[in-house]
C-alpha cells in the first residue's frame, strides 16, 4: 500500500520524510530534476513530494477580438503555473521546474491509494494541497484525503500528526483560500487593465504598466494622506527651558511645570526671575509601578519587537522566522495566538534549551519556578503562539537569524516571570516662585526582565540620589527655541500595524503588500515617502473612483472571507458581490479613461526620468549620469546628459536592476581625484552587490577597492 504525502517546501519534505521513515533513512528519488523521498512506516510505502509553493494560479479566459488590456475580466479559471510561463519556456527554468513537478505528482499519485496533505496548516497551505490533489486524482476523490496538522517540525509532532491525522481536509479553509485568490485576482487584473489602458492613448507615453489591488489601494492612500499632512504642516515657534540641578559635580535635568512657551517674552520673564537664584526641594513624592511580563509572541508581536530592537522590516522578520521553523527551531510563525496551550510541554522545552550554554543559567532558574505563562487576548485555533521547540541549532545561525531566535527564546522565558517593580521619585524644585520637577526611577525588582537581556539592555531606569526636603542646589537654566513637528512618517512596521488595526490584509500578506508597494516604486525609504507616481495615482483614484481606496469595503470583504472559513457563507456569494462592486467601479473608469490617463502623464514621465538618473557627472559641470540606450545596438549604458559636449560613458550589465545609492566611490576620489557614483546591481537570482560606475577602469584591485564591491 502506497501513500502520497504532499508537503510544502523541499526542506520540510526532507525533515518529515526522515522522521516518518522507520529507519530515519528515507530513500532520495531523483526524476526529471525533481527530488522526492520514499519512506516506509507501518507496512506502508510513503512517497513524499514537495510542492515548492503554489503550483496553480488564477487566470482568465481571453475573448477573441479583445486586446490584452480590455476589461472587465470576470471569467476566471485556475491553471498550472507553468502554463503562464509557456511563452518563455525555452528561457525560463521555472517553466520546467513547475511542469516537471506536476508531472511527478501525477505519476506518483497513480501508484498510490491513500493521500495525505502535510502542507502548512493555514489558508495558503490548504489551498496548495487541495489544488494538487484536484489535478492529480480529481475533485470528487479529494474527499478521501487526510490532513496532517502540526505546528512544529519536531519528531513528536510530526509522528503524532501522521498517526492521528484529520480524517478529511478542511474544506471551509480551502474555500476561503480559493476565494481570496480569486477576489484578489479580480481586483488586481481589472484595475491594472483599466489603469494601464488609460496610458496607451497618451501622446507622450505609449505604454506604462500600472497596478493596484484591493488592499494596496487603501494602504497607499493612507501613506499619501500622511505625506500630505506632513507637506501641508506649518511649524509654529515655541520655547522651552532647558534646566539642570547641580549636585556633587553632576547635572540632573529639571523640567519647568510649563513645558512650552509660545510667547518669548513670557519665558524671558521666568528666566529673569530665576537668574542667580538657587533651587529648593519643596516636595518629594515616591510611588511604585509595575511592568507586566510580555504575552507570548504571535507574528505581529514578533514583527513589532524585531523592528523596535533591530529595525528589521516585517517581511524580513517573517522570512527569517520561516527559516527557523524549517530548521525545527521554532513553532509555526504565521499565527495570531497569544495563549500557550495546556498541551505544550513547557518543562521539556526549557530542559532542552538548558543544554545551550547561553541559556543554561536562565533555564536553571526557570525550572525552580511554578511555570504559569502570561497570556494575551488573541487566539488562533490553527496554531499556538511562536515558541522555541527546544531543539538546539545544529549549525551556526547568521546574525539576523540569531537575533530573531533570541527574541523568541527570551520572550518565551519572560512570559513565566513576575512583574518588574520600579520606584518612581518626583522632586518638586522651587526657584523663586517658579516650579520645576526632577524625576527618576529605580528598578527595584527585575522580575521577568532578568529572563530577557534584550529588553533589559534597552531599558532606561536611572535612579536619583536621595535628596532631602529643603535641600538647596545651584541650578543652570537657559532657553531653547523649538518648532512644532509634523506627524511622523510611517515605517514598514507602523503601516503594517495600521493595516492590522483596520483589519485589511492578513497576518501573512500584510508585509508582502508593503514590499510590493516598494517594488512598484509607489513608495521609497524606510521612513516611507510616496513617490510622485504613488501620490499621483492616489489623487487620480480618489477623484474618479474613490471606492477602490475604501478601507470599509476592503474590511468588509475580509470579514466575508473569514465567514467562508467559519462555514457561514459560500464562496460564490462573495465572488458575486465583488463582481457587482467592480462593475460600478469599472463603469466609472471607462467613462473617464482619457482624463485618468492625462492626469497620470506628468508623474509617469518624472518617474521614468528619476529611475534613470545615477548621479552627477564627474567630468563636466551640470551634467547628469543617466541610464541610456544605444540606438544602434539597443544595449544600455551609463552616459552624460551633456552629450555630445561631454562624452563620459560607462558600460553596465545588460541584465538586472540598477539602483543609485546617492554616494560616491572613496577609492576613485583618492585615486583619480573625481567623484564617481555608486550603484546597487541586482542580477537575476543573485545576491545584490554595490559597485562604482568606474569599476571597469580601476587599475588594480586592492583591499581598498574590495570595499567598493561587496555582497549585501
Angle between helices 171-199 and 571-591 (to 10 degrees): 10
Q: Which residues are registered as beta bridge partners of 195?
A: none
DSSP 116-147: EE-S-SSHHHHHHHHHHHHHHH-TTGGGG-EE
User: What distance in Å separates the CA atoms of residue 302 and residue 597, rounded to the nearest whole number?
Assistant: 42
Write the DSSP string, 366-386.
HTTS-------S---SS---B
Question: Is the previous residue joined to 693 through a cis bond, with omega within 30 degrees of 0?
Answer: no
Find the catalytic residue in 95, 332, 405, 427. 332
Residue pair 296/339 in contact by the 8 Å Cβ criterion: yes
Q: What is the CA radius of gyration of the chain?
A: 31
Rounded distance between C-alpha atoms, residue 28 and residue 39, angstroms: 9
Burial 451-461 (b: 16+ CB within 10 A, else e): bbebbbeeeeb
Q: How far apart are CA 550 and CA 145, in angstroms?
A: 40
Query: b/e per residue, 492-519, with b = 16+ CB within 10 A?
Result: bbbbbbbbbebebbbbbbbbebbebbbe
Contact 423, 288 (CB under 8 A): yes
**In the 3-class helix/strand/coil scheme, how is 630-683 assigned residue by residue?**
CCCCCCEEEEECCCCCCCCEEECCCCCEEEEEEEECHHHHHHHCCCCEEEEEEC
Strand order from edge to edge, sheet including 649-651 = 613-616, 624-629, 636-640, 649-651
Whether 332 is catalytic: yes
Residue 332's alpha-carbon distances to 306, 324, 348, in angstroms, are 17, 9, 18
Q: What are phi and psi of 344, to 5 degrees?
A: -75, 125
Q: Which residues pair with 286 in a beta bridge?
A: 425
Answer yes or no: are the C-beta atoms of 640 and 649 closer than 8 Å.
yes
Longest dimension (CA), the chain: 95
At 614, give phi and psi (nearest 5°). -100, -40
Indicate the SS3 state at residue 393: coil
- Active-site positions read 332
Amino acid at each position: 500500500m502506497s501513500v502520497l504525502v504532499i508537503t510544502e517546501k523541499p526542506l520540510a519534505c526532507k525533515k518529515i520524510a526522515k522522521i516518518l521513515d522507520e529507519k530515519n533513512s528515507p530513500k532520495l528519488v531523483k526524476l526529471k530534476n525533481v527530488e522526492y523521498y520514499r519512506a516506509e512506516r507501518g507496512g506502508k510505502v510513503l512517497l513524499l513530494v514537495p510542492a515548492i509553493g503554489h503550483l496553480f494560479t488564477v487566470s482568465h479566459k481571453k475573448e477573441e477580438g479583445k486586446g490584452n488590456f480590455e476589461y472587465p475580466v470576470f471569467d476566471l479559471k485556475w491553471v498550472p503555473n507553468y502554463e503562464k510561463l509557456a511563452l518563455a519556456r525555452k528561457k525560463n527554468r521555472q517553466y520546467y521546474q513547475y511542469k516537471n513537478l506536476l508531472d511527478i505528482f501525477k505519476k506518483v499519485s497513480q501508484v498510490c491509494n491513500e493521500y495525505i496533505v502535510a502542507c502548512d496548516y493555514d489558508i495558503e497551505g490548504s489551498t496548495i494541497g487541495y489544488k494538487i490533489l484536484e489535478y492529480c486524482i480529481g475533485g470528487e476523490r479529494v474527499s478521501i484525503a487526510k490532513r496532517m496538522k502540526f505546528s512544529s517540525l519536531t519528531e513528536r509532532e510530526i509522528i503524532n500528526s501522521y498517526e492521528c491525522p484529520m480524517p478529511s481536509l478542511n474544506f471551509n479553509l480551502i474555500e476561503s483560500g480559493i476565494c481570496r485568490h480569486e477576489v484578489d485576482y479580480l481586483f488586481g487584473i481589472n484595475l491594472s487593465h483599466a489603469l494601464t489602458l488609460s496610458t496607451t492613448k497618451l501622446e507622450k507615453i505609449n505604454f506604462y504598466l500600472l497596478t493596484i489591488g484591493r488592499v494596496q489601494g487603501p494602504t497607499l492612500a493612507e501613506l499619501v494622506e500622511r505625506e500630505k499632512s506632513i507637506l501641508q504642516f506649518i511649524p509654529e515657534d515655541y520655547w522651552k527651558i532647558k534646566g539642570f540641578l547641580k549636585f556633587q559635580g553632576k547635572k540632573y535635568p529639571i523640567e519647568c511645570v510649563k513645558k512650552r512657551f509660545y510667547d518669548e517674552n513670557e519665558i524671558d520673564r521666568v528666566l529673569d526671575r530665576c537668574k542667580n537664584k538657587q533651587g529648593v526641594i519643596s516636595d518629594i513624592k515616591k510611588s511604585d509601578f509595575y511592568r507586566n511580563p510580555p504575552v507570548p509572541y504571535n507574528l505581529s508581536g514578533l514583527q513589532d519587537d524585531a523592528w523596535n530592537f533591530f529595525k528589521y522590516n516585517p517581511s524580513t522578520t517573517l522570512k527569517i522566522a520561516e527559516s527557523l521553523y524549517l530548521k525545527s527551531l521554532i513553532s509555526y510563525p504565521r499565527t495570531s495566538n497569544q495563549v500557550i496551550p495546556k498541551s505544550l510541554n513547557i518543562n521539556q522545552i526549557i530542559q532542552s534549551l538548558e543544554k545551550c550554554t547561553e541559556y543554561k543559567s536562565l533555564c536553571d532558574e526557570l525550572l525552580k519556578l511554578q511555570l504559569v505563562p502570561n497570556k494575551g487576548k488573541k487566539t488562533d485555533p490553527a496554531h499556538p503562539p511562536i515558541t522555541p521547540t527546544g531543539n538546539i541549532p545544529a549549525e551556526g545561525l547568521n546574525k539576523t537569524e540569531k537575533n530573531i531566535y533570541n527574541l523568541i527564546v527570551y520572550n518565551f522565558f519572560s512570559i513565566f516571570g513576575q512583574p518588574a517593580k520600579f520606584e518612581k521619585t518626583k522632586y518638586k524644585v522651587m526657584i523663586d516662585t517658579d516650579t520645576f520637577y526632577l524625576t527618576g526611577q529605580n528598578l527595584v525588582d527585575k522580575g521577568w526582565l532578568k529572563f530577557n537581556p534584550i529588553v533589559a539592555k534597552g531599558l532606561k531606569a536611572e535612579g536619583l540620589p536621595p535628596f532631602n526636603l529643603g535641600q538647596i542646589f545651584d541650578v543652570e537654566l537657559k532657553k531653547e527655541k523649538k518648532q512644532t513637528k509634523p506627524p511622523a512618517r510611517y515605517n514598514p512596521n507602523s503601516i503594517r500595524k495600521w493595516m492590522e488595526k483596520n483589519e485589511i490584509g492578513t497576518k501573512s500578506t500584510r508585509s508582502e503588500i508593503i514590499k510590493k508597494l516598494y517594488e512598484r516604486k509607489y513608495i521609497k525609504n524606510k521612513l516611507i515617502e510616496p513617490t510622485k507616481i504613488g501620490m499621483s495615482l492616489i489623487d487620480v483614484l480618489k477623484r474618479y473612483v474613490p471606492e477602490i481606496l475604501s478601507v470599509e469595503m476592503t474590511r468588509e470583504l475580509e470579514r466575508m472571507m473569514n465567514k467562508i472559513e467559519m462555514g457561514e457563507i459560500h464562496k460564490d456569494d462573495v465572488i458575486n458581490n465583488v463582481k457587482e462592486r467592480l462593475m460600478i467601479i469599472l463603469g466609472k473608469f471607462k467613462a473617464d479613461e482619457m482624463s485618468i490617463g492625462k492626469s497620470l502623464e506628468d508623474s509617469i514621465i518624472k518617474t521614468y526620468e528619476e529611475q534613470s538618473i545615477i548621479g552627477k557627472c564627474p567630468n563636466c559641470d551640470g551634467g547628469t549620469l543617466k541610464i541610456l540606450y544605444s540606438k544602434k545596438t539597443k544595449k544600455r549604458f551609463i552616459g552624460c546628459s551633456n552629450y555630445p559636449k561631454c562624452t563620459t560613458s560607462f558600460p553596465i550589465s545588460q541584465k538586472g536592476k540598477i539602483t543609485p545609492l546617492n554616494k560616491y566611490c572613496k577609492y576613485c576620489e583618492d585615486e583619480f581625484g573625481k567623484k564617481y557614483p555608486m550603484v546597487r546591481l541586482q542580477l537575476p537570482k543573485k545576491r545584490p552587490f554595490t559597485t562604482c560606475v568606474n569599476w571597469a577602469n580601476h587599475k588594480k584591485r586592492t583591499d581598498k577597492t574590495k570595499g567598493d564591491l561587496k555582497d549585501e
